[in-house]
Chains A and B, each alone.
Chain A
Amino acid sequence: MRSSVRRMLYYDGMMTHTKNTFITAAALPLVLMPVATAHGSALPQVTQQHQQPVTRVDDEADRLIKELITESEESDLGYVEAYKAFKPKFEQFAADHRGTEAEVRALLWLIQQTWWLRAEGTMSEAAMALTEDLLERHPKSKQLDLLVEFQYVFTKEQRAALFGSLLKDSPHAHVKAAAHFGLAKSGPAKNEDGEPNEHYQALLGPYANVKWRESTYGAIANSYLNPHPAEALAVGAVAPEIEGTNHEGKPMKLSDYRGTVIMLDFWGNW
């Protein structure tokens, strides 16, 4: 049930969270590792002689896994207790639906939730074991972009290798774009000449129109490359313009409100 009193959403350095769900924060400190990339939307050359496994879509299983995720999110248990209670259910689901995108989603939930093992020091090891199994059996899954969303469970070195392999092996533009995004943020955004790093260039170029949530990779890359400097957001500064769209998709601008006092409210219905 939604409460009419808003919950505070907070950012703990790795991710933002509220109650039993968590949302990846976009800004994660990563280390840039050189990775051979295949730019453009061309499919990667398949070098393996054996046939790669294909992940099936099963609508009924998709419905069931969504229900299970919702159930876990709405649980009244604490984070760690909820993870422990639901882990066997997701494992069973994955076993019962092998070879489907629904299984992939269950495995991705298990990977994401290894976050709750971090206090025990086994998070990244557990996450990587699950991920290796996932990538071996479902290299062409269309949901592997979620590995970038859930990147906080991996070490820096694991991330670099993982995103590199997604770039190389995934046939999907949205998975490759996500991998570029993870890699783009892992190093300096721009070089000495002010040029965006190669991954941001990919996001501004061939992947600019690929959907990122309800926006595009081009738009999100642009915002990372052009953050407002602190002095532009300080008390006494003229607020930077915001141009965007409203709840109906209609264009709106902050400067439309010039002449009135504005309470600019960053909010969400959490």
Chain B
Amino acid sequence: MYPHERSLVEKYADAPFAIVGVNSDDSLEALNAAMTDENLTWSSFFDGGGTGGPIAVQWGVTGWPTVYILDHKGVIRYKGRSDLDETIAELVAEAEKAKAGAQAAAAGAGQ
């Protein structure tokens, strides 16, 4: 899945989009090695050094990878493992529209 994630990062380099990982590798060394070896540019929470770590337990995650997509307001808009691209494209458009709207409103207020 890394190539897919890398392509998303490239595609949305200038857009309001970020990958945030929750990593369940055994050690910080393993996480750092994965980031270096696979050229991963996004940040991850280190979840306690294994599956069943505190974040995964609180979120009820029992299968990896598990993916949530959140919109720019932090609302969960998608949960699953496939068909991410459409959801992301839709939400990035929404986020950009919201940003443009906010800028227009700010410009309007400034006049």
Contact = CB atoms under 8 A, between A and B. Distances in A.
Contacts of B23: 247, 267-268
Interface stretch (A91-99, A117-125, A168-176, A213-221): A213-221
A266 B65 contact: yes
Interface string B8-24: 10001001111111111
Interface of B: 1-3, 5, 8, 12, 15-28, 30-35, 37-38, 43-79, 84, 88, 91-92, 95, 99
Interface of A: 2, 4-6, 8-11, 16, 23-27, 212-215, 219-220, 222-224, 226-228, 230, 233-240, 242, 244-247, 249, 252, 254-255, 257-270
B46 A244 contact: yes
A228 B59 contact: yes
Given A228-B58, A263-B19, A214 B27 contact: yes
A264 B51 contact: no
A265 B55 CA distance: 12
A222 B54 contact: yes
The 5 closest A-B pairs by CB, nearest first: A26-B52, A214-B49, A215-B48, A213-B49, A269-B34
B46 A265 contact: no
A246 B49 contact: no
A26 to B, nearest CB: 3
A235 B77 CA distance: 5
A118 to B, nearest CB: 20
Given A11-B63, A213-B26, A234-B79, 10 more contacts: A214-B26, A214-B46, A220-B54, A233-B68, A234-B76, A252-B45, A257-B18, A258-B74, A265-B67, A268-B64
A263 B8 contact: yes
B46 to A, nearest CB: 6
B24 to A, nearest CB: 4
Contacts of A228: 58-60
Contact of B88 (A249, A257, A261): A261
A246 B27 CA distance: 12
A222 B48 CA distance: 13
A234 B60 CA distance: 12
Given A235-B78, A261-B70, A215 B53 contact: yes
B24 A266 contact: yes
A258 B28 CA distance: 26
Nearest to B31: A247
Given A233-B79, A265-B65, A245 B45 contact: yes
Q: Which of B54, B62, B69 has the most CB of A within 10 A?
A: B54
Given A24-B52, A214-B28, A236-B75, A266 B66 contact: yes
A104 to B, nearest CB: 20
Contact of A25 (B26, B30, B32, B51): B51
Nearest to A234: B76
B34 A226 contact: no
Given A258-B73, A261-B88, A27 B62 contact: yes
Nearest to B37: A2
Interface centre among B32, B34, B49, B70 (most CB of A within 10 A): B70
A269 B30 CA distance: 8
Contact of A247 (B44, B65, B77): B44
Contacts of A2: 34, 37
A266 B51 CA distance: 10
